[in-house]
Amino acid sequence: MRKSPSRWEVAPWSRLRIIRVMLGVVGLCLIAMTLEAPNLFQPRAQLKAVGASTQQELREEIPAKPRRALIDGAKEDLSSTRSPQHHGSSSSGPSSSSKNHPQEEQGLPKPRPVGGEEERSSPPASSATALLHAARAARVAGAKMWQLVESNFAASPAAAKQHSSNLTTLASSPPRKNSQCPQVVIVSGDELRGTANVAVIPCGLASGSSVTLVARPLKAHPENSPHIRMLPDGQSDVMVSQFMVELRGLKLVNGEDPPRILHVNPRLRGDWSGKPVIEMNTCYRGQWGAALRCEGWLSPDEEAVDGLPRCENWLREEEGSSSKGSSSNAATRIPGKNANTWLNTWIPEPEKGGLDWRYPFAEERLFVLTIRAGWEGYHVSVDGRHITSFPYRTGFILEEATGFAIGGDVEVRSVVATGLPSSHSVVSSDLPLEESEQYKAPPLPGGSVHLFIGILSASNHFAERMAVRKTWMQSTSIRSSLVIARFFVALHSDLEINLQVREEAEYFGDMVILPFIDHYDLVVLKTVAICEYAVRNVSAKNVMKTDDDTFVRVETIANLLKNTKKAPGLYMGNINQFHRPLREGKWAVTYEEWPEEEYPPYANGPGYVISSDIAEFILQQQNNHTLRLFKMEDVSMGMWVVQFNLAQAVHYVHNLKFCQWGCVEDYYTAHYQSPRQMLCMWDKLQKGDAQCCNMR
């Protein structure tokens, strides 16, 4: 009699049935993939970054019929290849439609045009009206301010001469000519609370200087902020105890955070790792560098700073540290062979070559933290033990560390800074402004130019403008007037700053002063001014917009444009597609300002190029009072290009080397570069290396 299969066995006929079913499922999947293949594989081809090896890789065209949308509907999340941009949470670049298949045959949706037939993608009338009112008010105030500037110089020629003689001493920070340079600064906890927990170090630090903080971490508290907590399922809040100490530079511009020359952030209850950690970093204009995290592991010897490890080791939770990660009652082994031997038996043996001690901070336990400036970097010690070392980064120097800030869950007792410099350390090559013929703008050529570069700059960004003059504005194409570059600066609310700007503009001859009071929401007016100057003053074939904290490889971009197939309607840059506006935070956009869920395709503001016909179209719309304005100038440019596309095809060229979030290898433009980082990048570029300084 044939034995029937048990519950744990499968009959042969059942195996065959399973195999047949699986083969059928695979076959159906293959059929589905075949039907969807054009859409599945289209984004990769469309979003291929522009290379430099062949002519085909130098540009991506998006052909379409006249008065038709030029961007197809293929979406791809580029978050894995670049950082999130400040305008939205997701982005993707424009893509190439098939030359043999018009857009209607691909079933791709048309983008919503700006103005004309469909106005829904433009800011509503109320938002545009508010922006126009703000622009008019800024122009009225600017006209009055300019009259004051002119009358001041007309009434007092001696004052003008005095301002001119001060060009080499202008600074982007408050003047310190009458300040003293104490060698010791002592501030009590009560005094710090009266100054927002910032101790002023008038003349900065020098090698050998140290700053000591005596404080006590506070007891952990529930944290429900979505920006900090990462809650397990079912948990309503998380306990947090952390604080930070920072060496800061002076504020450069009203409304901007000072550079964080050194940021030290002990997190007693840990963070996403769940273990206590110390994180260190630097920050310039809100852009953080690569963080150094110490989590209790000894760093390799090759990473040593002045011979000291970047991270010391401490006992972690699995080795007997506090389960909370706060290391309360941390004990240290008693040295000596016979000293308190019975006590040493209760203290875990240290790792070979390591230290037998726990995380250096504990809740409600007093500590003494010292930051010492060494030869290669900063060295941090707690209660006399070395904890971590952080190497110096280009662009963040000791002399600019004029503030020591404390914040977070900590009670400060005192701050003592010693070994301070007795005088200001000023090097001529680092002066904000320098009188030198080599930095003056060459005369405008008689005919047209291939490329005009408009640089947006704030009125009191003296150091940034000088760094640009000393670096990429010394490119051969600019010095020979083949490429023209100009700063576009609006007026400041401070008369003294405007007087300095006027003298700077007269001396260097590379500035265009716009007659309105500067404001972030009105930056779009500077972009319109760049287009006007490029078309009417220099007859440029191509127009590039950039910022004063962006390093530009002028020769590379000029050659890229020359090698690009000549065609009207060029729009080149790091282009975002299907980008959504942020509804909260610094870059928040209200629904009144932008009711749609997506922006039109636009290139990131720190560096993009348009052809002259697009610039002329913008001026025509401006003269006809039909130009739509939005407070974000790069999004505005994207709107104008889409509107231009209604009458004439636009060729989008997308390239990630127009870097918005910092710097990448073999960059075309690098954003968020401090003046000293620009000097470093220029020095490397002169040696033939397009490399970053402190790559982000």
Q: What is the total residue count of the chain?
A: 696
Q: Tell the burial category of 202 from Cβ atoms under 10 Å away from its Cβ (0-12, 13-18, 19+).
A: middle
- Residues paired with residue 408 on neighbouring β-strands, in sequence order: 243
Q: Which helix (H) or strand (E) holds 153?
A: helix 125-155
What does DSSP say about strands 292-294 and 198-200: parallel, antiparallel, or unpaired?
Answer: unpaired
For the chain, list residues with pLDDT below 70.
1-16, 18, 29-129, 153-179, 224-237, 250-256, 272-273, 317-356, 424-432, 586-587, 694-696
Amino acid identity for residue 205 in this structure: L
CA nearest neighbour of 189 among 418, 417, 411:
411
- Asked if residues 570 and 610 have their Cβ atoms less than 8 Å apart, the reply is yes
pLDDT of residue 177: 41
Q: What span, in angstroms and rounded, lies between the C-alpha atoms of 166 and 434?
A: 10
Cite the residue boundaries of each domain of the chain with CATH code 3.90.550. 437-687
CA nearest neighbour of 292 among 284, 282, 302:
282
For 484, residues 6+ apart whose C-beta sits below 8 A from its C-beta are 444, 445, 449, 451, 452, 453, 478, 538, 540
Please count the CA atoms within 13 angstroms of the CA of 596 that sit on its side-chain side. Answer: 19
Provide the 8-state DSSP code for 305. B
Q: What span, in angstroms and rounded, lies between the C-alpha atoms of 287 and 671?
A: 10
If one counts every other C-beta atom within 10 angstroms of the C-beta of residue 285, the result is 15
Phi, psi of 403, deg, nearest 5: -145, 145
Q: Tell the burial category of 526 from Cβ atoms under 10 Å away from its Cβ (0-12, 13-18, 19+).
A: buried
**Model pTM score:** 0.62
Long-range contacts of 275-279 (CB under 8 A, 24+ apart): 275/316, 275/317, 275/325, 276/321, 276/325, 276/326, 276/327, 276/359, 276/361, 278/311, 278/387, 278/388
Please count the CA atoms within 13 angstroms of the CA of 426 that sit on its side-chain side. Answer: 14
Cite the residue boundaries of each domain of the chain with CATH code 2.60.120.200. 185-224+238-315+358-418
Q: CATH number of the domain at 437-687, out of 3.40.1000, 3.30.160, 3.90.550, 1.20.58? A: 3.90.550
Residue 458 has which token pair?
């704030």
Q: What span, in angstroms and rounded, lies between the C-alpha atoms of 78 and 93?
A: 8
Residue 571 has which token pair?
């729009």
Q: What span, in angstroms and rounded, lies between the C-alpha atoms of 306 and 372?
A: 12
- Residues paired with residue 451 on neighbouring β-strands, in sequence order: 483, 542
Amino acid identity for residue 170 in this structure: L
> Which DSSP string do the residues of 413-460 spell out, in sequence order?
EEEEEES--SS----GGG-S----GGGSPPPPPSS-EEEEEEEEE-TT
Q: Is 379 left (phi over 0), alpha (psi -120 to 50) or beta?
A: beta
CA dihedral of residues 470, 476, 482, 487 (deg, nearest 10): -10
Q: What span, in angstroms and rounded, lies between the C-alpha atoms of 62 and 475?
A: 32
Residue 401 has which token pair?
């560390």
- Asked if residues 294 and 388 have their Cβ atoms less than 8 Å apart, the reply is yes
Provide the 8-state DSSP code for 266. E
Q: What span, in angstroms and rounded, lies between the C-alpha atoms of 113 and 123?
A: 12
Q: Which helix (H) or strand (E) holds 147?
A: helix 125-155
Query: Taking each helix axis from N to C terminus, what angle separates 523-536 and 633-645, rounded to the nearest 10 degrees?
Result: 50
CATH class for the region spanning 185-224+238-315+358-418: mainly beta
- Residues paired with residue 271 on neighbouring β-strands, in sequence order: none
Long-range contacts of 45-54 (CB under 8 A, 24+ apart): 45/95, 45/96, 46/72, 46/74, 46/76, 46/93, 46/94, 46/95, 46/96, 47/76, 47/78, 47/92, 47/93, 47/95, 47/654, 49/654, 49/655, 49/656, 49/657, 50/653, 50/654, 50/655, 50/657, 52/560
Q: What span, in angstroms and rounded, lies between the C-alpha atoms of 439 and 431?
A: 13
Q: What is the pLDDT of residues 385-395, one digit of tens each?
A: 999 999 988 77
Residue 19 has which token pair?
């195999």
- Asked if residues 589 and 636 have their Cβ atoms less than 8 Å apart, the reply is no
Q: What span, in angstroms and rounded, lies between the C-alpha atoms of 402 and 415?
A: 14
Q: What span, in angstroms and rounded, lies between the C-alpha atoms of 81 and 75?
A: 15
CA dihedral of residues 292, 298, 300, 304 (deg, nearest 10): 70
**Distance from the first to the final alpha carbon of the chain:** 76
